[in-house]
Amino acid sequence: MSCAELPLRAPRQLTGFWPVAASAVAGVTITFLGFYNGLAWSGLFASVAAVLADLSFY
């Protein structure tokens, strides 16, 4: 394997992992913040977690 192929191979191997990891992080964040604030602002927490998960892909 050449040095030029190596940086391209790693992201290709992780393409299935990132959506699962982002979903898990968003779910844990929503759950934690929901219990922390008594589920008073769960809609806002869900949208903030979705935006942060979306931003983490860039």
What's residue 58's pLDDT?
A: 60
Q: What is the pLDDT of residue 11?
A: 79
Identify the pLDDT of residue 26: 82
> Measured between alpha carbons, how far is 19 from 17 in angstroms, rounded to an integer?
6
Do the domain assignments include residue 7?
no
Instruction: Decide if 8 is inside a domain.
Output: no
Model-wide pTM > 0.85: no
Domain that holds residue 46: 16-55
Task: Tell me the per-residue pLDDT of 3-58, one tens digit each, with 9 for 90 and over.
Answer: 778 788 877 888 888 888 888 888 888 788 778 877 777 778 778 878 887 877 66
| Residue 4, domain member (yes or no) | no
* CB environment 11-31: b (16+ within 10 A), e (fewer): eeeeeeeeeeebeeebeebbe
Helix, strand or coil for residue 31?
Answer: helix
* Residue 1 banded pLDDT, cuts 50, 70, 90: low
**Is 36 a member of any domain?**
yes
Number of separate domains in the chain: 1
